[in-house]
Amino acid sequence: MTRHLPVILFLLPLGLAICLPLIGVRRREWCRPLAIGVLAAMVPVSFASLAGVLQNGTIHYDFGGWAAPVGIEWVADGLASIMTVALSLVGLVCITFLSSVLFPYLGSRIVPFYTLVLLLIASLIGMVFAGDLFNLFVFLEVSALCAYALVGLAGGKALVAGFRYLILGTFGASLYLLGVGYLYAETGTLNMADLAQRVPPLVGSKAIAVGVLFMFIGLGIKMALVPLHGWLPDAYTYAPDRVSPMLASLVTKVALYGWIRIMFWVLGAHAVVYRIPVLFLVGVLGALAALVGAFLALSQTEIKRMFAYGGLSHIGLILVGISLGNQTGFVGGVFYLLNDAVMQAGLFFWAGAIIHLYGVRTIEDLGRLQGGAGWMSVALVVIALSMIGIPPTGGFFGKWYIILGAVEAQNYLAIVAVLIATLLTLAYFAKLFERLFRDRSAQQPLPIREIPLAVRIGLGATSVGVIVLGVMSDHIVSFLLKNALPPGL
């Protein structure tokens, strides 16, 4: 039974996504509770899958009885299993948040909306478990198509942002597929485990180098790595306020996870650390993204756009950790990735709630709250502490392990990049808090409104989550060191 759990985890949202249009014809009001129920069911299944991997080792699942590399293979190892636990938990909190505040406004679009959300979750699960490069591409594109449609759901400027996302995302997918073609032409296989055996002797091949470069650029666009991030700020700013948390917390993180898989599980840890300059390129671009993203966030006046650029900076920090070429840096990067999924969800919950309850979209308008918004402000402070990197939050320990990895690698430029990005993050949150708590110049303060239960759940879960991640950081890092390291690192 344990070996079937990864497939069950995928089939739960996919099965409901297929059935929902039929159910919605007669019982449209069932869409919301069914979607929440499926995401809730995924949480224990993901934990059971993780427990099965810890007890029995990596699960290799061959579809249709065809063994890899001929057939389609899914691989559930320690890294994939911890990613699906994070996906299930964050996905559940996100769908609870968006369901409650969005439900009254969807009207007849409720069925396609929940169908897209469930397909997005299923495709992200598929990306995490995919054991070959082509199926990674298939799930990457299914998730992207769902994301394009969800961004455009708000209409108006969101349609333009969604169209730009579609154009750039399709270009990125084409480059990734072209890169896959180069690797297949050179090795004759697409299975990652098989490629891991055939690629290392060929790392000097121009076809392999060009293929890897195309895949990196393609996935770089998908993960919004600076300077390939052009689609993200508008997409997250103009996307429906209830959808932004799910996109910001999950979509770019899984694309980043895909690149980590290719670097360390296809090219091989020994090759990327000692033979080809991939980690150097990733480290330089990661440091650039960390600094540019944080600097651009500081210069923004719209709240959601500020958080979007802050997310770009954190993608860079994760890549800095991954690029250090040692176990401490790798684990620090992965731990920060898990933290960032929770932090981005919390920030966009807060931004969506402030817009939904008070109509406040800019930092200047925050002064009209007169320090109000009750414990929503407390939740924002907790998440901001994690974004900046203040103990005992998870953000602090993520940055701590990245810096330890940089010291171990004697990469002092990485340390400087992390510290400057941290100071810039502190600066843009100081700018936001100054307006929120100290500005009393507004002539017409906004009345304080009751906070919906779903908003309380979303903000409470994410603010508690970053603290729990910090308190449990020692155990999580030990787990990652024991179960999620790439072979040979």
Could you report the average pLDDT of every consecutive run of 10 residues in the chain (489 residues)?
A: 87 94 83 91 94 90 79 90 93 80 63 91 94 93 92 84 92 94 92 90 87 94 90 88 86 91 90 86 94 94 93 94 93 94 92 85 82 77 93 93 95 94 94 82 67 83 93 93 89
CA-to-CA distance for 232 and 100, rounded, in angstroms?
25
State residue 421's pLDDT score. Answer: 95
**Overall pTM surpassing 0.85 (yes/no):** yes
CA–CA distance from 422 to each of 38, 387, 392, 427 (Å)? 38, 8, 16, 9
On whether the CB atoms of residues 300 and 328 are closer than 8 A, the answer is no
Cα distances (Å, whole numbers) of residue 297 to 41, 303, 312, 416 = 37, 9, 9, 19
Asked if residue 208 lies in contact with residue 63, where contact means CB atoms within 8 angstroms, the answer is no
| Nearest CA among 98, 97, 101, 94 for reference residue 121 | 94
Q: What sign does the dihedral 215-252-134-486 (CA atoms) show?
A: positive
pLDDT of residue 99: 62
pLDDT of residue 468: 94
Per-residue pLDDT, 467? 94
DSSP 68: T
The pLDDT, as a whole number, for residue 104 is 53
CB-based contacts of 246: which residues, under 8 Å, 6+ apart? Answer: 91, 94, 95, 98, 117, 120, 150, 345
pLDDT of 446: 65
* Contact indicator for 253, 283 with CB cutoff of 8 Å: no
Q: What is the model's pLDDT at position 173?
A: 93
Q: DSSP secondary-structure letter at 272?
A: I
Task: Tell me which amino acid residue 250 is.
Answer: L
Question: What is residue 418's predicted lDDT score, i.e. its pLDDT?
Answer: 95
pLDDT for residue 371? 62
Q: Which pLDDT belongs to residue 372?
A: 61
**Dihedral through CA 437, CA 440, CA 444, CA 447, nearest 10?**
30
